[in-house]
């Protein structure tokens, strides 16, 4: 029995509808992919990592060996990634054991191996801008290159520091003011040293200041104190552009920025 073969011709409207369906499916797939990409945002970087990441200088053998290292935000096995020139391993072989970095519970830097075990656990040093550590009988330091030496959490909505009860009659005499002071910020860390000198400034009652080393606090760099004066029991630091910062004496012999809002600052006199 003869069979009949039927061929159906796909008309233009059918082709157009098929094309529209394909475009619709493609658009849906792109939207779904975008939604997935938006939902898979990377985790927020912890504040301690944000504050301490960047360039530091690792120092060994009493300053004879130095290496610029970069603490990065990238997560790796053992902590966060760090980088340094390959030649640094010659002068500081301990770098061969270091694969990552982390932040300790007290906000200080740790350089770790690939398993996360500390190789160098740094602690506070008496030298400004540096931390210290020991390993295998050798001493090391790490220089912050202008950053805070440790992470100090900022408490949201924390009450402002109270103003110092100031009595001009109890203020120290002007003759006792000249000397070298450490400038303290970041929860008690020294960020700079300043000398309140005795050489007269450009105006009456003003005396010149100088900094024994480069001040690494950005705010104080911008302020750029060039002179000081003493009036009514208060010390006034005078910026190069002429504006002033007021400090009042505290009960423990320090000088505190007044009013204390914003970036707090304390001056503590160093022994002669």
Query: Do 54 and 138 belong to one domain?
Result: yes
Instruction: Give the model's pLDDT for residue 201.
Output: 86
**Average pLDDT rounded to a whole number, residues 211-235:** 86
CATH of the domain at 54: 2.40.128.10
In the predicted model, what is the mean pLDDT of residues 181-193? 81
In the chain, the number of structural domains is 2
Whether 13 is in a domain gets the answer no
> Of 143, 160, 187, which one is at a domain's C-terminal end?
143
pTM (2 d.p.)? 0.49
* 234-240: Cβ within 8 A, 24+ apart: 234/166, 234/171, 234/258, 235/177, 235/196, 235/267, 237/209, 238/201, 238/206
Q: Which residues span the domain enclosing 101?
A: 47-143
Lowest average pLDDT, out of 65-74, 134-143, 184-193, goes to: 184-193
Indicate whether 135 belongs to any domain: yes
Tell me how far CA of residue 71 lies from CA of 42, 62, 133, 212, in angstroms. Answer: 19, 22, 17, 29
Same domain, 192 and 260: yes
Mean pLDDT of 15-34: 50
Same domain, 172 and 262: yes
Predicted pLDDT at 154: 52
What's the confidence (pLDDT) of residue 189?
74
Residue 13 in this model has a pLDDT that exceeds 70? no
pLDDT digits (tens, 9 = 90+) for 100-146: 999 887 788 999 999 999 999 998 776 667 788 998 889 999 988 86
For residues 163-178, average pLDDT: 85
Least confident of 7-21, 70-84, 240-254: 7-21
Return the pLDDT at 37. 47
Spatial CA neighbour of 136 closest among 93, 80, 83: 93
Cα distances from 97 to residues 44, 101, 108, 113, 119, in angstroms, run: 28, 12, 19, 6, 7
* Res 51 pLDDT > 60: yes
Distance CA(240)–CA(39), nearest Å, equals 50
pLDDT bracket for residue 223 (50, 70, 90): confident
Q: 23 falls in which pLDDT band (50, 70, 90)?
A: very low
Give the model's confidence band at 4: pLDDT under 50 very low, under 70 low, under 90 confident, else very high. very low
Residue 254 lies in a domain: yes
| Averaged pLDDT of the chain | 79
User: Residue 12 above 60 pLDDT?
Assistant: no
Residue 25 domain-assigned (yes or no): no
Q: CA-CA distance, 24 to 28, in Å (whole number)?
A: 6
Q: Are 55 and 127 in a shared domain?
A: yes
What is the length of the chain? 272
């Amino acid at each position: 029995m003869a069979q009949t073969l039927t061929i159906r011709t796909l008309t233009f409207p059918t082709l157009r509808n098929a094309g529209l369906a394909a475009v619709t499916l493609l658009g849906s797939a792109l939207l779904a992919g975008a939604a997935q990409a938006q939902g898979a945002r990377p985790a927020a970087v912890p504040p301690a990592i944000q504050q301490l990441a960047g360039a530091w200088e690792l120092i060994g053998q009493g300053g004879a060996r130095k290496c610029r290292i970069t603490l990065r935000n990238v997560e790796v096995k053992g902590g966060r990634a760090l980088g340094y020139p390959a030649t640094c391993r010659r002068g500081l072989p301990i770098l061969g054991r270091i694969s990552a970095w982390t932040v300790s519970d007290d906000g200080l830097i740790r350089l770790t191996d690939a398993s996360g075990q500390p190789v160098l656990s740094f602690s506070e040093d008496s030298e400004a801008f540096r931390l210290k550590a020991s390993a295998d009988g050798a001493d090391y330091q790490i220089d912050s290159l202008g950053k805070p030496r440790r992470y100090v959490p900022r408490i949201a909505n924390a009450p402002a520091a109270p103003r110092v009860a100031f009595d001009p009659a109890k203020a120290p005499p002007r003759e006792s003011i000249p000397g070298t002071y450490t400038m303290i910020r970041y929860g008690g860390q020294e960020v700079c040293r300043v000398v309140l000198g005795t050489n007269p400034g450009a105006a009456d009652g003003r005396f010149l200041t100088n900094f024994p080393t480069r001040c690494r606090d950005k705010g104080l760099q911008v302020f750029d104190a060039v002179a000081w004066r003493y009036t009514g029991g208060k010390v006034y630091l005078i910026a190069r552009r002429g504006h002033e910062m007021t400090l009042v004496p505290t009960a423990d012999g320090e000088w505190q920025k007044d009013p204390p809002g914003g970036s707090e600052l304390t001056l503590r006199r160093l022994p002669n």
